Structure 1
Amino acid sequence: MNARVTDIAQDFHRPRYHFLPPANWMNDPNGLIYWQGYYHLFYQYNPHGPFHGTIHWGHARSADLVHWEHLPIALAPAPGDLDAEGCWSGCAVNADGVPLVFYTGVSPQRQLLATGSPDLLHWRKHPEPLIAAPPPEIDAGPHQDFRDPYVWQAEDAWYMVVGSQDVGRGGVVLLYRSRDLLHWDYLHPLLRTADVREFPIWAGSMWECPNFFTLEGASVLLLSAWDQQQTYYPVAFSGEYAEERFTPRRQFRVDWGDCFYAPQVMRDGQGRALMWGWLWERRTREAQLAAGWAGVMSLPRVLSWTPEGVLSQRPVPELSQLRRASQSWEARDLAGAADALATVHGAELELQVTFDPLSAPEIGLDVCVSPDGAEFTRMAYDATRSLFSVNTTHASLSAAAWGEVLTAPFTPRPGEPVQLHIFVDHSVIEVFVDATLCFAVRAYPTRPDSLGVRPFARGGRPHFTSLTAWKLASIE
């Protein structure tokens, strides 16, 4: 390991149990596949620096979803290749024992194929594009936005969705069909902006990184909202799929934080639907260049439905093997909770907190708290407005870090406490609220002692029903 990589590994803001490459730039998860006893994670990677450019496919694998082994680069752009300007996002499939990856090559944006060796360490690119351009009736804009293939098998055919836009009409997901995975016929849009205008969550003018899969009997279309060269957030639609047509019935925002994007879903050997997302930086380009790294992978999440038909996300239970020293307390008022949590400090923590949502107008928890209280990140339920919020405006005293107040509509289950499951990993904080509301945020404290945890409440007689804290081990 060279001196620069060693310095990066010791960076206080660098996560210790989230996956990321040793240095440089990372964005979207790609090609997720469970293969011969390992979870394989490919990802958008620039080996030349902590900035987006010359995109390769990085590669890692894990036997347990927690500890990852870095593997050689899987795909690299090369002069004269169809992907000479970058190997952009895509997926992997097991085609009767043959590993295949489908991805977007640039420029122009076109859908490509590579075949892997049995150990997935070597990849041979197909010499011709599978789909060279969007259908002529789709105006994909001046950059021909047409990318991120996602492939699945149904009965006697293979299907592919590709994200795009139709200028003046909004986002569109295009549906293709193939019998042999080489020759693809365009069918029609699987979904367009016009189909979902009645839903409340805005979804941008171009749709990236589509995933289409079945979750406990319901069909789900997952996409990422993009508009005017700006990435926003992922949105999911659930509904029915029949005769190659999708009818959306419900809409969900997948994550309410300010950095979770381009998620991809895979089915593992246990049949679970697992999802990862890219956590981008929330600090200036200059700060990223100085740090030498940018981008983190989220913790893997297990997807399911609640009895009410709401999308549920939980951290994979395998993460429990990272737990070390723990502390637990039962029912406490605000003062009692403060006394208990005063002994909890760390930049690598897992917290489980439950509270009575009716015991105070506003109640929650602060993490990454400095001894003088100048730096902290707050997560709280506001009963007066039926909102849950994560506030990073005090997370850092540095002008190079960006903070904001992030809110989501939230109504607790009648008669039940609210359950918070929180992961703190240096500059990454992931919050799960009743396993239905998720916030991934970034925080960059300036003080190395911004490690505290404290309860928060405004008014009323706040009641915390249980508190548990674990220190977590590094995966390096």
Structure 2
Amino acid sequence: MSDMQNPSQNTPYVEHRPAYHFLPPKGWMNDLNGLVHFRGEYHLFYQHNPEAAVPRNIVWGHAVSLNLVNWRHLPVALRPDQPYDKDGVWTGCMVDDGGTPTAVYTGVHTEVQCIATSKDMVRWTKAPENPVIAAPPPGVEVTGFRDPYVWRSRDWWYAVVGSGIKDVGGTIFLYRSRDLRRWEYLEPALVGKKEETGEMWECPNLFQLGRKWVLWTSPVPLGRVIYFVGTFRKHQFQPEYRGEMDLGGCFYAPQGFRDARGRRILFGWLWETRSEPMSAEAGWAGVQSLPRWATLGRDNRLLFEPVPELRRLRRGAVSLTARTLRSGEEVALQELSGDRWELQVEIHPQDAARCGVRLYHVADEGQMTAVFFSQAEQKLVVDRTHSSRYEEVTRDVRSAPFSLKEKEPLRLRLFVDRSVLEVYANGHTCLTSRIYPQGAGGYQPRLFAEEGSALATRIEGWTLDAIW
């Protein structure tokens, strides 16, 4: 195991390095490239610069897991070593072609689509036919052409490639093939409006989920993830619902896959919101989110929950009986202090204007992050304006539209992993943020209500093990 994976206390900003989220031993990481459940193992490929914490000289990093929680690093899978990908082996996906693992990726000289195959998931051979899609559709001026997502339907392979039509908006171009090597362009499956959904759609995923089809994408320049739920017939995707996947300000470029149990599992890239010099000094940048299980709600909204496999990390349960939260008071979970924990609370807002959880740094209560429901504004909020004393980190307020039905409680599930804060609320709203307090020690959660009272009926937490 490398020194960076288990850094010493003298390593710069060691208190910010996550312990149970996936990240490489050192260097830069961004998009997931290929997620696949193959022969009983989960494989995770990702954009990676192993030499420095900057997005240059990108290769495909690779790790494997038996349970989605504990990961083992494997050798680099793909490098930019051919004329058609000499400037980068960029984002793509992974498919099982009749027992042959096949990576479909964007090669960069210009942006072209390529494939590589393996017999053992470790050594990879690029196809002699590369690039298999050598250019965007003719006669269209595009704003990008990358990040292929591939699936099989009966006798055909289908692919969507993220793109955009200049002055029109983001789009996904649809292709099909019998053999993954010779592709036929069909048509745009969906074209967005530039002013609403951005000018270029990165990292699209298009798949069937229950009775509907889902498309999610990361639009440039919006810097967040949107999704559509609708129908897909005759090569056209018709949206019926549009939503936001995570408005915490740090979640981007998710990729999903269907595992052997039929679950749609996704990870997303959590980027840093600290300065580049801080990342360079730390020696790493970029983390993957916890694995999320996506399902479809009755109202066509996507529902998200952390996969149950994460419970294996729990140690030392802490709980409190039901408590009334009064304005100006706080209820602390004394035994949950630290930098790696999970907290589940259920709060009935009653007449409180705001209620939720404050995370105080154990050595400096002036560093505090608040997660709360604003009943007055109908928002779920992460307030990190006081989360750090460092001037080089982002300290802002992020929120998502959020409402409760009559008598429905606020159900919060918080995961704290040093500089990562993942918030799940009522099964459908996620806010993921990065917080960089000055000094080690972690956080202590305290429940609160403002301008009225609320009732907390469930308060339960656990310390979580590191995975490295």
User: How does the TM-score come out when normalised to structure 1?
Assistant: 0.94
Q: Which moved more, 1:305-314 or 1:182-191?
A: 305-314
Q: Deviations over 1:372-424 (max 9, x none)?
A: 52111111111111111111111111011111101111111321211001100
| SS at structure 1 position matched to 2:386 | coil
Cα shift readout 1:330-371 (whole Å, capped 9, x = no counterpart) = 310226994452332010000001101234111010124345
Q: Secondary structure at the match of 1:64?
A: coil
Contact 2:35 2:94 in 1 (8 A): yes
3-state DSSP class of the match of 1:232?
Answer: coil
Secondary structure of 1:17's counterpart equals coil
Give the equivalent residue in structure 2 for 1:134.
136
Q: Which residue in 2 is equivalent to 1:304?
A: 295
Runs of 4+ in 1 over 4 A off after TM superposition: 1-6
Instruction: Tell me, yes or no, if the aligned pair for 2:340 and 2:418 is still in contact at 8 Å.
Output: yes
Letter in 2 for 1:296: V
Corresponding residue number in structure 2 for 1:72: 75
Choose from 263, 271, 287 the match for 2:254.
Answer: 263
Residue-by-residue CA offset, 1:233-288 (whole Å, 9 max, x unaligned): 11110001112211110001011111100000100010000010000000001111
* Partner deviation per Cα, 1:175-226 (whole Å, 9 max, x = no partner): 00111211101111011114x98xxxx4211100010001112100111011
What is the CA-CA distance between 1:149 and the residue it aligns to?
0.4
Q: Deviations over 1:286-327 (max 9, x none)?
A: 111011000000000000122333210000000000000011
Q: Secondary structure at the match of 2:197?
A: coil
8 Å Cα contact 1:211-1:221 kept in structure 2: yes
Are residues 1:469 and 2:461 paired?
yes
Q: What's the Cα RMSD here?
A: 1.7
Structure 1: distance between partners of 2:53 and 2:244: 29
What code does the residue aligned with 2:316 have? A
Which of 47, 50, 65 is equivalent to 2:50? Answer: 47
Q: Equivalents in 1 of 2:3, 2:398: separation in Å? A: 38
Which deviations, in whole Å up to 9, do the C-alpha atoms of 1:430-470 show, x marking residues without a partner? 00010100011000000223421111221112211110010
- 2:276 aligned to 285, 288, 293, which one? 285
Residue 205 of structure 2, aligned match among 203, 211, 214: 211
Aligned length: 463
Q: Give 1:185-334 correspondences, 5 Å limit.
A: 185-194=184-193, 202-227=196-221, 232-334=223-325
Moved more, 4-13 or 127-136: 4-13
Contact 1:148–1:163 (CA<8 Å) still a contact in 2?
yes
| 1:122 corresponding residue in structure 2 | 123
Q: Separation in 2 of the partners of 1:159 and 1:297?
A: 27
CA apart distance, 1:8: 6.9
Q: CA contact under 8 A between 1:431 and 1:439: conserved in structure 2?
A: yes
Alignment partners' CA distance in 1, 2:84 and 2:8 = 34
Q: Is the 8 A contact 1:377 1:390 kept in 2?
A: yes
User: What stretches of structure 1 of length at least 5 have no aligned partner?
Assistant: none
**Alignment partner, residue 341 of structure 1:** 333
Q: Secondary structure at the match of 1:393?
A: strand
Residue 18 of structure 2 corresponds to: 15
State the percentage of identical aligned residues.
Answer: 42
Q: Is the 8 A contact 1:60 1:70 kept in 2?
A: yes
The corresponding residue for 2:103 is: 101
Q: Is the 8 A contact 1:8 1:293 kept in 2?
A: no
Greater alpha carbon shift after TM alignment, 332-341 vs 398-407: 332-341
1:24 aligns with 2:27: yes
Cα distance in 2 for residues equivalent to 1:304 and 1:12:
34
Aligned to 2:378: 386
CA contact (8 A) 1:375 1:450 kept: no
Indicate conservation of the 8 Å contact 2:5/2:24, yes or no: no
- Secondary structure, counterpart of 2:359 in structure 1: strand
Distance 2:355 2:410 in 1: 10
Amino acid at match of 2:48: Y
Unaligned runs of 5+ in 2: none
The reply to whether residue 441 of structure 1 matches residue 433 of structure 2 is yes
In 2, the alpha carbon distance for the partners of 1:178 and 1:368 equals: 55
Partner residue of 2:452?
460
Question: Match of 1:110?
Answer: 112
Aligned equivalents of 2:363, 2:105: Cα separation in 1 = 48
TM-score (norm 2): 0.96
Report the Cα distance in structure 2 between the residues aligned to 1:433 and 1:82, rounded to whole angstroms. Answer: 44
Helix, strand or coil: the match of 1:343?
helix
Q: Secondary structure at the match of 1:376?
A: strand
1:155 — aligned with what? Answer: 154
Question: Displacement, 1:153?
Answer: 0.6
SS at match of 2:15: coil
The range that moved more, 334-343 or 215-224, is: 334-343
Q: Does 1:409 align with 2:410?
A: no
User: How far apart are the structure 1 equivalents of 2:360 and 2:435?
Assistant: 8
Distance of aligned partners of 1:164 and 1:339 in 2 relative to their CA distance in 1, 3 Å threshold: closer
The answer for the alignment partner of 2:355 in structure 1 is: 363
